[in-house]
Structure formats: C-alpha cells, structure tokens
A and B are shown apart, each in its own frame.
Chain A
Amino acid sequence: MTEANASTGSAEFDENRYLTVEHLTVAYNGRPALEDVTFAVPHGTQVAVVGPNGAGKSTLFKALVGLLPPRSGRIRLHGAVPGGQADPIAYVPQREEVDWAFPVTVREVVMMGRYGRLGWLRRPRATDREVVGRCLRELGLADLADRGLGELSGGQQQRVFLARALAQEPHVLLLDEPFTGVDVAAREGLLALLGRLRERRITVLASTHDMETAAKRFELVALLNRRLVAFGPPAEVFTPGHVAQAFGGQALFLDGMVVVDQCCPGHVGDGEAHRHSHDPGEDRLPHALPR
C-alpha cells in the first residue's frame, strides 16, 4: 500500500494522481468547522469519512465541490484547481434542497447532471441521452424514468440523485451519509455500486456513522473532528487513541471493546451529563468496535 503511505510524503508522491487537500480551514456561520486538514487520496480509492456530528464532514464535501469558500489552504485534483468540465467532482448531499413540487421527471433530473458539459445554448445530444439511460439502468430506475420526481418514495428519490451524480461522469464522487436511514437491501445495493465504481477507478469519499461498514468495506478512512485526527487504512485509524480523540466523552472503553454513542453533536470531550432530544431520523444506537 505504498500509495497510501504517500500521504505521509514519500518520494513517490505524484500530485497528478491524487485528490489533495492541504491545510484546509473552512469557517461556517463564523465558527471554524474545519481546521488545518491535510490528506491525499490516490486516484480511484474509496475513503470513508467518519466523525461525530458537527465534525465537519459535510463542510469538507461542500468545500471540495466549491459550495463553501476555504478560509485558507488549498484543494487540488490531479494537480490542478478543481472545477470545469474536464474532471468533475460530483456531490450528493444527504438531503436535497430541491423544489419537490417542481414539474420534472426522473429522466430529466438525471439529465441535469449533464448540463455542466453543455454550454449555455446547447441542447442535450445523443451521447447525453445514452449516458442518462445507462445511469438510470445502473440505479434500477429504468421503469421509473418518466414518472414525476414527487411521485417516488424517499429511497427511490435518493437513487435518482445518485444517478444524476453519476451522469456527470465524475472523477470524484462525494456521498454525504449515503447509508443513513436506508434499509438493508438499499445498503447492499449501494455497496455493490461502490464496488463497480472501484473497478472504474472513480474516487469516492463517503461520510458515514456506520463504523463497521467504514472499517470493513473501505480502503481508507478519514477520522475527523474539526481537525483530521487520522487518515489511512482502517486498522491504523481505528485505534483507541484516535477514537478517544475524535469522540471524546462519547466513547467508552470496555474490556476488549470500544463503544461509541454517536447521537449528539457538540459534546465531545466533556464528560458531563446532558439533556438532548433525538431527531427521529438520527441513528441512536451505540456502535461497538472490536479492539
């Protein structure tokens, strides 16, 4: 795994083969959401981004895709500033902020993923329709292609936005909590898709609360809590020291096991009792990691 070691600065580091983030600091609503984050993702690998709520996972993705300006630091894809049609980064947010009552079909939503490649006056061409058709089939949406977006279930809608991201033919795919609130069948479908993307050498960064999936199904893990606590293969990242640093008072070290409660943002490091309410959509079971 020499490519993974390159993140520590070995002589084989060739910037053109990586997505690099250097000393990235991003503020959100005036507060620092990410501080001095540095890592390099080799082209084609899949990274799980893990951390407590409020750790800056979504902020990282938004900064990568240009939705949030960095206060300092830089981002490079294949050595150049990302953006432009040549090497798109596609981002699938956890919850889309779209107009659900808008008159648009599934096929049309996926076609919008092609708009970045079409100039201001261009109409979609045969290649675009072909790519859209392929992405619809890949996500099992072929039968729903001409239905209105608002007619679909939540899970189906999620697949539509995933198809749209794939229609961009991205070099890097950012998935914000794709496993959250998703049933087992959908989860397995998503993991199968990630497997196919690995074969196609598409770099994937997926944020998740599911640390077991992160440890077992991803080659690299980025453990975040505003700062980058650790980055590397799961075995190197998921050590008691790192977990304690990232999750603070939310992590309990039992004999042979670490239990982490991931429900609450903003309580890292203080052992005090606190009151909180649970958003019904949030995962509130503690996760157990074998040591």
Chain B
Amino acid sequence: MTHWLTDPFTFAFMQRALVASLVVGVACAVIGTFVVLRAMAFLGDALAHAVLPGVAVAYLLDANLLLGGLVAAVVVAAGVGLVSRRGVVKEDTAIGILFAAALALGVLLMSTVHSYAVDLTHILFGNVLGVSSADLWLTGGLAAGVVAVVVLFFKEFQVAAFDPVLAHMLGKRPELVRFVLLVLLALTVVVSLQTVGVALVTALLVTPPATAYLLTRRLASMMLLSAVLGAAASVAGLYLSYYLDVASGAAVVLCATAAFALAWLFAPRRGLLAQRFAARRGRA
C-alpha cells in the first residue's frame, strides 16, 4: 500500500517537483485570499500574461527564466499600482488589451527560435518536472518571503481590504498596502510559472481561497484553509500526473476545482444543498 504513495518520490526530480508544488500551492493560496476578496482575479491573470515578455527575453538571452519573469512582473505590478491608485477598477478594458499584447509579444519573441514550441508550452502550462535545485531555492525563498510578509503584516492587510477608510484614519496607509499586495502578487505569479504556468496560475490563486470562503467566516481561517487546500491539490495533482501520465499543472488545477465543486454543493451554510434545505424549511 505504501509503495503506491512513496514510489513516485524515489526520483529526485519528483522530490523537487513535490516541494515546488507544495510551496507554490501555499503561496498562491495565501495571496489568492486577497485576490478573491478584492476581486483582483482578472488582474492576477493579466500579471501572469504580462510576465511573458520578460521570460521570453531571458529565454533568448539564455538567462534564468525566473529572473526574467521577476523583473517583468515587478515592473508591471509597480506600473499597475501607480496607474490605478484610487481604485478606478473600470480600467479592465485597458488591462485586457495590454495583457493580450504582452502575451503576443512574448510568443513573438520566443518564436524567433525554431525550437520554441516545447519551451512555450512549458511556460504556458508549467514544467514542474524540470525544476532544478537552483530553481527550488529561488522558488522556495520567494514563496516563503511572500507568506512571511502577509503573516507579519496581517492586520494591516486585513483592515486595508475590509475598510480602507478606517485604515486611512488609523494611519495604516491602505494605498501603500495595496501597492505591496500587487508586488507580492507579481512575485507569486512568477514563482508559480514553473509548476502551473502562465495560463493556469489564476486558477491556483483563486480556486482554493474561493473554496475556503464557503467554509469559514474569518479571514485568518480562510487563509489557513486555502493554504491547506492549495497544498493538498498540488500533491494530489502530482500523484495523478505520475500515475495517469498527464500534465501535472493541469492535474493540480483540476483537483483544486473538484474541491471547490464539493464545497459549493455541500458547504454547511453556504453550500447549494444547505441553502435549498433552509429554503424548504422556511416555506414549511
């Protein structure tokens, strides 16, 4: 029985894949909690796509892809933060145009190299089995940093998200907090490129927290449960990809989505069944 559980991890690359997936699953869930609560899912997706030109340039220069992505991500996050200062979220058209253009630019740059198709697939959909030790250090370090910042300044993030007016009155600088959140989001997106890729990172940011939202009533519990769900989906996805010989990033996302579907149906107060039951009781 235990062979089934431990067989995949006799391989070093699988061990690294597991650690990378866990770390990314947790970091995405923690930052994703605010992405969900502040309706920033579209922005998260846009950031992921905007990172592509940076990755492409690094690819062409034969430099570390993660570092290329990092530079692009921080530049774009800072730009978005500065431009959308007072929460004028109706810029979504502009964001949509920009990130489609960024994706196109990235693909264009990469297509100058003839063997680009495989590498592009990895960037778009993840290549967790190709995680090197160096990558793991960088991934782990950044992810740990992101989680640490959120935990240390939890109450500032909480009050800025819930009641920015109060935050302002108390001197908690909600605009600075939002800016930091954007930068952390950019870092998380870059760190997730390897495990789930540009196209799927939004799912990992949004799905575990959305699931946790249905099951908790406090921010801290929501974040903690998201992290557990993110980690669990990552591990389950990895096992599935090993035994079914399918793409791992996609498997992770589908596991997270399955958990969401279960919660959406069966959550105690907010699940579909619970609400139907309560409505029927109300009528009787």
Interface positions of A (Cβ within 8 A of B):
65-67, 83-84, 91, 93, 96-99, 102-105, 108-109, 112, 115-116, 118, 120-121, 123-124, 148, 164
Minimum CB–CB distance for A97 against chain B, Å: 6
Q: Would you list which residues of chain B between 131 and 159 have a CB under 8 Å from chain A?
A: 152-153, 155-156, 158-159
Q: Is the CB of A93 within 8 A of B165?
A: yes
Interface positions of B (Cβ within 8 A of A):
37, 152-153, 155-156, 158-159, 161-163, 165-166, 168-172, 213, 216-219, 221-222
The answer, among B153, B156, B171, B217, for a CB contact under 8 Å with A103, is B217
For A93, A97, A102, A108, which residue has the most chain B Cβ atoms within 10 angstroms?
Answer: A102
Q: Is the CB of B162 within 8 A of A104?
A: yes
For A103, A108, A120, A148, which residue has the most chain B Cβ atoms within 10 angstroms?
Answer: A103
The answer, among B158, B170, B213, B217, for a CB contact under 8 Å with A116, is B170
The answer, among A97, A103, A164, for a CB contact under 8 Å with B219, is A103
The answer, among A102, A112, A123, for a CB contact under 8 Å with B166, is A112
Q: Which 6 A-B pairs have the closest CB atoms?
A: A116-B170, A148-B217, A98-B163, A102-B162, A103-B222, A103-B219
For B37, B162, B222, which residue has the most chain A Cβ atoms within 10 angstroms?
Answer: B162
Chain B contacts for A65, CB-based, 8 A: 169
Question: With the chains together, A124 CA to B154 CA distance in Å?
Answer: 12
Given A84-B171, A99-B161, A108-B218; 15 other pairs, CB 8 A cutoff: A67-B168, A93-B165, A99-B162, A102-B219, A103-B213, A103-B217, A103-B218, A104-B219, A105-B218, A112-B163, A116-B169, A120-B156, A121-B152, A121-B153, A123-B155
Chain A contacts for B216, CB-based, 8 A: 103
Question: With the chains together, A103 CA to B163 CA distance in Å?
Answer: 12
Minimum CB–CB distance for B96 against chain A, Å: 24
Q: Is the CB of B159 within 8 A of A102?
A: no
The binding surface of chain A is classed by DSSP as loop
Q: Is the CB of A115 within 8 A of B155?
A: yes
Q: Is the CB of A66 within 8 A of B163?
A: no
Instruction: Find the A residue at minimum CB distance from B172.
Output: A115
Chain B contacts for A120, CB-based, 8 A: 153, 156
Chain B contacts for A91, CB-based, 8 A: 169
Instruction: Find the A residue at minimum CB distance from B216.
Output: A103
Chain A contacts for B152, CB-based, 8 A: 121
Question: With the chains together, A105 CA to B217 CA distance in Å?
Answer: 7
Question: With the chains together, A97 CA to B169 CA distance in Å?
Answer: 14
Chain A contacts for B155, CB-based, 8 A: 112, 115, 118, 123-124
Q: Is the CB of A102 within 8 A of B161?
A: yes
For B37, B217, B219, which residue has the most chain A Cβ atoms within 10 angstroms?
Answer: B217
Question: With the chains together, A203 CA to B192 CA distance in Å?
Answer: 53
Question: With the chains together, A105 CA to B156 CA distance in Å?
Answer: 17
Minimum CB–CB distance for A276 against chain B, Å: 29
* Known contacts A83-B171, A148-B217: A102-B37 contact under CB 8 Å: yes
Question: With the chains together, A148 CA to B217 CA distance in Å?
Answer: 6
For B169, B171, B219, which residue has the most chain A Cβ atoms within 10 angstroms?
Answer: B169
Q: Is the CB of A67 within 8 A of B169?
A: yes
Chain B contacts for A115, CB-based, 8 A: 155-156, 159, 170, 172
